Structures are given as structure tokens and as C-alpha cells.
Amino acid sequence: MHLQESGEMYLETILILTQKSSNVRAIDVCEYMGYSKPSVSRAMGILKNGEFIRVDKDGFITLTEAGREVAQKMYERHTCLTEYLVALGVDYETASEDACKIEHDISDKSFEAIKAHAQKVLKLQ
């Protein structure tokens, strides 16, 4: 199943929230993303049906292996691209917003080239 950009963003958000607390619920996703409960509920249903997340009887959300792979890929892209743009002189807020747009569309090949350049020339992680 191919995810749309919004699905990737939800998975990345769940990963970020999981790093702060192991107990993540849909309401936490709502608050973090600023989305309505019905929108998040619908998205969680799609992600659950696609086997990207599991939701237990208490409403706690966990990423499946497939969900974690997508989330980590998006998170790595976001952080690397943000750091890269900041190193080029872009303010952090703009860099983060632009990285969020780029991370979903850039090819693996181009991202790996940017990442390698950032590590070599700019000494970024």
C-alpha cells in the first residue's frame, strides 16, 4: 500500500510522540498536529487498515514494523534536510517548513546524495 503525504506525516508524528512518551493516543496526535479529532480518527483508521499502526483496547497507538520504517525514513529526511538548509544560512523555522515539503517528494537517490554531501562537506550527522 502506497501512503499519501498526509499518511507519512501522521506516522512521523506518532514516531516523534513515541520518543517523548510510550503512551500515544489519537488526541495526542490531534494536539501535536493541530488537526480535528474526526480528521485524525479517519487517518488512524486508514493507517490501521494498511497495517502501519496498531491501536490497543485502551486507544494507545503503536507503529508496526512497516509503519516504523516509513516514519523513520521521513524523520531522517526531515532532520537532515532541516540541518542542511540551516547550514546554508536559512533560519530554522523556514528550513524546517521547507524540509517538511521536500521530504515527501525527493527521490531516495537525491536524498542520499544530499545526505552524503552534508556529512562530508558540512560535517552534519
Number of domains in the chain: 2
Contacting residues for 111 by C-beta, under 8 A, at least 6 apart? 77, 80, 81
Write out pLDDT tens, residues 60-83: 999 999 999 999 999 999 999 999
Instruction: Name the residue type at position 78.
Output: H
Range of the domain at 50: 5-69
Reported as a pLDDT band with limits 50, 70 and 90, residue 5 is: confident
For residue 28, how many other CB atoms are within 10 A of its CB? 19
For residue 99, how many other CB atoms are within 10 A of its CB? 21
Shared domain check, 93 and 63: no
Shared domain check, 88 and 42: no
CA distance 91 to 44: 33
> Given a cut of 90, is residue 2 above it in pLDDT?
no
Q: Tell me the torsion sign for CA atoms 101, 102, 103, 104.
A: positive
Which pLDDT score is estimated for 120?
A: 85
In a domain, 92, yes or no: yes
Does the pTM surpass 0.75? The reply is: yes
> Given a cut of 80, is residue 29 above it in pLDDT?
yes
The number of residues making up the chain comes to: 125
